[in-house]
Structure 1
């Protein structure tokens, strides 16, 4: 019935949840000939897939969902030399490389970033405090995570705008249906971004400093077999994208939901102790990683459906997070919800997001400062909120807020 399911359909991008609810109820696991993938919708099934890496490999997570044009593939082949390292890599290599990433995101190291994050948020709010209207994505939820992760990596602040420009539309390139001309343009940007990362890692190899990249370099210098320069470059490249796009999307969506349910926004303004629960409900309700992928290593039964070896799975995390078998009244946004943290937004198992503590801290500080300094915020009425056109990451392109009550 749903074999022609299209994650890029206009109605699905605008509001996927009614469509996902119907699929989850009628055909929770099925083969889509249109996608040549097996969409999986239920929380229990997706959690199992995330935690069984031997049966469900992550090898295809970074492979473009839709075929690339030949010219774009040629451009990438000539100058974009990524290799599997973390999300699209399985043990034993994954175990070795991930261990060094996790160290960089330890609770101690993340806690040290708190004053820096708060200073950036304060500066951003200072710029918009007396504006009647502004786009919160452009002003806060996009620049903050990008700035923080670039600083963590060690990229010079003077390069940040250039790097953001090179990263634009990568979501559409890997997880969308771009035109041939768009693919060629984005592929050239990808090559430039890769070259920048390569040269940056080489500079840290020559002169390590106090940043995440230099920590990886020191590991390499102590034991080249433990972590190669090529692996470090791949980690830096992947983190510089994944470390901010996901937080941008979920932060923007969370603010949108809170202001849509304004009585809950007002509760946060009155009692900031509720913010951690609001964050978990925001992560559940609007996961930025809306879908993810795996490939089966052997024949397996998923939700009672027999799936062959080599089957490409489309894990509909947005559906899992709204599964009534796990979350009562799932379509209600409720910051008082018990058990919201059971969401699958950060994955599970060996591939779970090691940047989750940083994302939570950034969202915590954003909400603390916005509710304290701009409690009168409202959504601009009658705006047509558009979402990024891709099959994986979900979040508003723009979100206009009304601050006129402040004046």
Structure 2
């Protein structure tokens, strides 16, 4: 099939060269009709392209002259490779600029240059390194008090009105003022800058008519001149505050990297980037939260949920619908050949609803385990530099509203959007409430309350879900089965075999992991089984003592680092004692898929045998029981005597059993044995016994030094790199990062033998480098 460069409106395939294709053309009827410049797309881009995500993940849209990409992994892989997929067209106008508009821009001396968002390597990363310091969490923490004060004053102005347009009265004003403050611009021209930024957005991302182009060109030209004037003022006071003055100071050190034209262009670009995306994201988030009253109530009651809620809002309904890229060579995307010099529209809103990456993606769940993996900010070298400014502002605004107006509701309204392919958010957001019910009228101390702001991706430990114990029943000696449900009776998120939840045991912050073991199809409740450990440090003993029917437990998850390979040709399940719990769900799934399997379940005594009746009824002769006190033990050596390259072994149980399996499986394929651990072995960091090492972040272009007294996780966070964490003991798997080069000193209890030997994954909270340098997939 010959593929050629193509103008908009023409199919890029030479039809005479196509033989055997089902349609003879990549442009289906729906692809031919695709047009993002309409309300349905702006309201819900993910739903608008659901058909493509599920059936036609890459298609050519002749109305745009773009190839449209809709799936998560494909878009993430494109972000990973900024050389093959150039960002140079990110700010390219969607409609050709008319000659009259070009003349208008020329009158103003408009000469917008490339900036961080749309420039190629190697200059992009050189500039990013030189200019990124003010964006790190350490520096951004200093802006929090100012943001709080701005938000408080804005809410004060309408708190007693009973009705407000949050966009006009809060969500636009605060991010814009913060943007000006961050840049170091005086606020006296705020309204003029607001008008300029809207015109700049429509100019770059919209599809204005020829008449509108002329009017917009005048505004953009004025914006350009105004930006130049502000820049000249700053040059006269270069030691003042703000990122632009910081950039001016850096220019003296790196004149070839930070040029005059670059500074002028960045002055315009950063105002839009730092302002509109946050304003729209905040509007989308509050609209979404108020449309889900249970989620809104939960974060009103528990402010620790605000940071995770922001992340889920960015995933579910972010302010960036799509990014754009240009191919520099012929490529194949999701099996579709795409020629060099093609334009790509990466619909990240669709990627964020891809069921291949997000379980039950259309469920809005503010406690979602992997919500921070959304692509709204992009990924890799061009990931949004100001992402944490936006996160911080959104948290403060939602916290203030949830504390002072928890009874706020959406007013009846029709939502309107500025039509463009990149940014999305309602132009107005009307809410209403009864001022007589404002909590601060009864308790003025509410005004003084503050919840810590999380600068960066949320802590997994903050994603707490209250679960009520429906039933607590003994199923064997020392083992209790808990049936847990949402406190409001709503369905719980779906989960996959091997998943576990973390349950907080008491008020000390102690938490323990328990595998989910109930029916996979039942979302009305989750089931775990807890064995009383004679040497309990407080976890299992607390559960057995306090988890009675009606008790509300605090849990996190589900999380899964013990996933079942559903492509396996044969499955061998080995369980010891309470280790049967993750195996139960895996065996149920294997049975449903028709994969040959066998279960080998060992216990110390007959009274210790849990779930025997259920297991026998479901699995029959596939179940093999071994009761030690009755003289029957599992012959592990015999079971693994003959390596089977088509089999996968899943094991959970006592450490001694797992260690024996690891020895006996040495002759099997490297990835044959997969083990679940529930006790951590990572030692506490001792700087006197460690050595520093270097990490290169392949997708971000950064090189970082990890000193002897800091973990990799700490260094990554300090450098504005998103990595989630929870236990920080090498046990939960939430801080896993990919490794591309180098040898890892594994200190976790998550990875199996083959995964450790492969040196392709590591836990950033505890593991270190065995080699001098690691290259990470970040």
**Counterpart Cα distance in 2 of 1:277 and 1:166:** 33
Greater C-alpha Rg: 2
The aligned residue for residue 154 of structure 2 is: 124
**Structure 2: distance between partners of 1:263 and 1:350:** 37
Task: Give the C-alpha shift of residue 167 in structure 1.
Answer: 2.0
Mapped pair 1:109 → 2:118: no
Partner deviation per Cα, 1:276-309 (whole Å, 9 max, x = no partner): 1101100001121101100000001111111100
Partner residue of 1:142?
A: 172
- Distance verdict in 2 for CA 1:345–1:123, change over 3 Å: same
Structure 1 residue 133: deviation in Å? 1.0
CA shift for structure 1 position 173 = 2.2
How far apart are 1:170 and its partner, in Å?
Answer: 2.8
Conserved? CA contact 2:131–2:250, under 8 Å: no
TM-aligned CA distance change 1:406 to 1:6, over 3 Å: farther
TM-score, normalized by length of structure 2?
Answer: 0.51
Determine whether 1:280 maps to 2:311. Answer: yes
Ranked by relative contact order (alpha carbons within 8 Å, sequence separation 6 or more), the top structure is 1
Aligned residue in 1 for 2:86? 57
Q: Which residue of 2 aligns with 1:398?
A: 428
Please report how far the alpha carbon of residue 375 of structure 1 lies from its aligned counterpart in structure 2 after TM superposition.
0.8
Task: Say if 1:374 and 1:406, in contact at 8 Å, map to a contact too.
Answer: no
Aligned partners of 1:249 and 1:81: how far apart in 2? Answer: 28
Moved more, 168-177 or 273-282: 168-177
Work out the CA distance in 2 between the residues paired with 1:371 and 1:13.
26
Unaligned runs of 5+ in 2: 1-27, 438-778
| Residue 153 (structure 1) aligned with residue 177 (structure 2) | no
Superposed, 1:52-201 pairs within 5 Å as: 52-78=81-107, 79-201=109-231
Which aligned pairs between 1:146-295 and structure 2 lie closer than 5 A?
146-208=176-238, 209-295=240-326
> Which one is further off, 6-15 or 372-381?
6-15
By how many angstroms is 1:406 displaced? 4.3
C-alpha distance in 1 between matches for 2:101 and 2:191: 24
- Aligned residue in 2 for 1:371: 402
Structure 2 SS opposite 1:38: strand
Shift of 1:405: 5.3
Q: Matched residue of 1:3: which SS?
A: helix
CA distance in 2, matches of 1:236, 1:172: 18
Residue 342 of structure 1 is aligned with which of 364, 369, 373?
373
Residue pair 1:288, 1:394 contacting (<8 A) in 2 also? yes
| Distance in 1, Cα, partners of 2:44 & 2:36 | 11
Q: Report the aligned-residue RMSD.
A: 1.4
Residue in 2 that maps onto 1:3: 32
C-alpha distance in structure 2 between counterparts of 1:340 and 1:45, whole Å: 18
Whole-angstrom distance in 2 between the partners of 1:289 and 1:77: 30
Q: Deviations over 1:73-123 (max 9, x none)?
A: 222234211111211101111112212331121112100000000000000
Equivalent residue, structure 2, for 1:325: 356
Q: Which moved more, 1:155-164 or 1:274-283?
A: 155-164
| C-alpha distance in 2 between matches for 1:228 and 1:244 | 24
Equivalenced residues, count: 406
How far did residue 162 of structure 1 move? 1.5
Answer 1 or 2: which has greater helix percent: 1
| Kept after mapping to 1: 8 A contact 2:407/2:433 | yes
Secondary structure at the counterpart of residue 356 of structure 2:
coil
Most deviating of 169-178 and 139-148: 169-178
CA deviations on 1:113-157 (whole Å, 9 max, x unpaired) are 000000000000101100111101111111111100111111111
Q: Deviations over 1:307-356 (max 9, x none)?
A: 10001000001100011111122112111212111100000011000101
Q: Distance in 2 between matches of 1:186 and 1:105?
A: 31
Is the CA contact (8 Å cut-off) linking 1:376 and 1:406 kept in structure 2? no
Shift of 1:3: 2.6
**CA distance 1:212–1:14, shift in 2 (3 Å):** closer
Question: Counterpart of 2:58 in 1: which secondary structure?
Answer: coil
**What is the CA–CA distance in structure 2 between the aligned matches of 1:406 and 1:42, rounded to whole Å?**
48
- Cα contact 2:67–2:342 (8 A) shared by 1: yes
Instruction: Please say if residues 159 and 435 of structure 2, whose CA atoms lie closer than 8 Å, have aligned partners that are also in contact.
Output: no
CA–CA distance in structure 1, aligned partners of residues 75 and 60 of structure 2: 16
Moved more, 45-54 or 217-226: 217-226
Q: Aligned residue for 2:19? A: none
228-237 vs 298-307, which moves further: 228-237
Does the C-alpha gap of structure 1 residues 179 and 204 become closer, same or farther in structure 2, counting only changes over 3 Å?
same
| Shift of residue 263, structure 1, vs aligned partner | 1.3
SS in 1 for 2:41: helix
2:330 is matched with which residue: 296, 299, 306? 299
Contact 1:167 1:189 in 2 (8 A): no
Shift of 1:161: 1.4
- Out of 347, 360, 375, the position equivalent to 1:316 is 347
Q: TM-score, normalised by structure 1?
A: 0.97
Structure 1 range deviating more: 345-354 or 195-204: 195-204
Match of 1:26 among 46, 49, 55: 55
Q: Which residue of 1 aligns with 2:76?
A: 47
Distance in 2 of aligned mates of 1:327 and 1:393: 23
Bigger shift: 299-308 or 202-211?
202-211
SS of equivalent residue, structure 1 residue 169 = helix
Secondary structure of the 1:30 match is strand
Q: Any conservation in 1 of the 2:45–2:321 contact (CA below 8 Å)?
A: no
Give 1 or 2: higher strand fraction: 2
The 4+ residue runs of structure 1 with deviation greater than 4 A are: none
